[in-house]
Amino acid sequence: MNPDLLPAPNSPLRGIPVAEQTLPKLLERQAAAYGEKPLLRMAGGPELSFAEVRDRAKAAAATLQAAGIEPGDRVLLLSENRLELLEVVLGCAWLGAVVVPVNTALRGAQLQHVLDNSQPRLVAVEPELLAPLEAATTPASLERVWLFEAEAEVPDRALGVACEPFPELAGEPAATATEIGPGTLVAILYTSGTTGPSKGVCCPQAQFYWWGVTVGELLEIGEDDVLYTCLPMFHTNALNAFVQALVAGATFVIGERFSASRFWGRAAAEGATVTYLLGAMVNILHGRPPAPGDSAHSVRIALAPATPATLHEPFRERFGVLLIEGYGSTETNCTIGAATDRQRPGWMGVELADYEVDVVDENDETVAPGEAGELVLRPRHPFSFATGYFANEAATIEAWRNFWFHSGDRVLRDEGGWIRFVDRTKDAIRRRGENISSYEVEAAIASHPQVAGVAVFAVPSEMAEDEVMAAVVPKPGEEIEPEELIRHCEGRLAYFAIPRYLDLVAELPTTENGKVRKAVLRERAVTATTWDREAAGVVLKR
């Protein structure tokens, strides 16, 4: 490992005793250190100091206790970003209860699965999202429903149990933070579940601490920074951004949901210096027409994993923002990255010092440098990874086999230790005996100036294996000629990787977290409107 490639290990809280790597202890420590300095702000709403956030966490814990919630009980949250949501999260953390933030887009069987699997004793929900819950079968564990929004009409009962407004926070919890340990389960975060039932990732207290330390160092976050997110708080990215601010003594701002036309203006209004972008958001922002506000802000850096390599430099030139690559998942932590001045577009980074990384074959044997294999990971510190999948022993054993977490991602590591994403294992395409990376095909198509978004996936071939298909979203006002797009790919891709099929679509199906739902595209496959390169008589150069 070349230390010159790594972020400086200079987090102010790096190395604190393991017993103090809990959210309650962090809140206590930082409230004593920073007092009335702002820690949390809702965009356009209230602002709370470090001391006030700590006090609200304690009061929320007391309020949960008064409602009968005990350590280990699950509290399910179905809400858009709001102060009360974070108060419940921190109250559960203080009490030793387990918060279950749920994707607000879940409906039907997906929502029923989360209810059945997590078995919550309490549900806190926004009025607008009560109907999908009431359409589900009430879990036997449920005793009470809290309704966010004081002005809303509150029914006496919901889901067959008592329903009441979200209570005023008050009191001191009977249990103290000293009873919470680094391995205490604090959250169950459900994965997107695009190809099957979602799994509840069991996140212990210290995993959040290490997210704060590791990503804080990767983004060089200091106490003068303002961290701005418009991502949903039911997702690990936004929850962990709060802990990054807490650990660094910075300020965390929760903004409204992503809007490409308003993003930079909102970030500027909040004085943001650090932000968080998904790869699709980078494409959308860069695809908009240039505007005076593109660089009229204070954002210097953004965590933006999975950004196409060709966008890094143009994005920095236009918006003045350095995009930072890295690798992390809900089950793990930020395990791969590089120092800000050593970024290598197209590569995730190198193994970070607090984690172990390997690339293995189907037998869990390490593959040679330059050979693609599955990314497996494990921590060097206690409880810095998730501990398994909730009430799903078989999936836990499968994913954590041989003492490594198996990511399901195919990667390649070169002689210098740099790691490049190749594909999700389930998204791999095999055509005419050749393995094709959908990620690399997407990057080639995305480099076309008229393309706003793209997803590449396998569809059945008449010759058994796979054919390559791409769903392409044109930029607003643009018309893409399929053959011209195919010619664009020549010289950028091997001939066998160039798509046979193209669908020009208005949008791609995505999860609430912005991940493309390729399972939906594969199921739809070739339709009457699909352009077929072979039927069109387009011959590729070889």
Do strands 157-158 and 161-165 pair parallel, antiparallel, or not at all (unpaired)?
A: antiparallel
Confidence at residue 302, expressed as pLDDT on a 0 to 100 scale:
98
Tokens describing residue 142: 């449920």
For residue 75, the model assigns a pLDDT of 98
pLDDT at 473 over 50: yes
Type of residue at 423: D
Q: What is the pLDDT of residue 45?
A: 85
pLDDT band at 176, cuts 50/70/90?
low
Structure tokens at 397: 């054993």
Q: How confident is the model at residue 194 (pLDDT cuts 50, 70, 90)?
A: very low
pLDDT at 432: 67
Distances (CA, A) of 174 to 69, 181, 208: 12, 17, 24
Instruction: Identify whether the C-beta of residue 230 lies closer than 8 Å to the C-beta of residue 42.
Output: no
State the pLDDT confidence band at 125, using cuts at 50, 70 and 90.
Answer: very high
Please, what is the Cα angle at 338 between 332 and 342, to 5 degrees?
165
- For the chain, the average pLDDT equals 93
pLDDT higher than threshold 70 for residue 192? no
pLDDT interval class at 195 (50, 70, 90)? very low
Share of the chain above pLDDT 90, in %: 79
pLDDT digits (tens, 9 = 90+) for 415-462: 999 999 888 777 778 786 677 878 878 988 999 999 999 999 999 887
Rounded Cα gap, residues 504 and 320, in angstroms: 32
Angle (CA) 42-45-49 rounded to 5° is 65
Q: Which among 264, 339, 333, 335 has a CA at the least distance from the CA of 297? A: 264
Check whether 178 has a pLDDT greater than 80.
no
3-51 confidence digits (pLDDT tens): 899 999 999 999 999 999 999 999 999 999 999 999 999 998 899 999 9
User: What domains are defined for the chain?
Assistant: 23-39+47-180 (3.40.50.980), 428-532 (3.30.300.30)
- C-beta separation of 467 from 488 below 8 A: no
- What pLDDT was estimated at residue 423? 80
pLDDT for res 512: 64
Spell out a b/e string for 332-360, using b for 16 or more CB atoms within 10 Å of the CB, else e.
bbbbbbbbeeebbeebbbbbbebbebbbb
> What separation in angstroms does the CA of 16 have from each of 182, 218, 411?
12, 19, 33
Q: How far apart are CA 79 and CA 101, in angstroms?
A: 8
> What is the CA 278 to chain-centroid distance, rounded?
8
Contact by Cβ (8 Å): 94, 58: yes
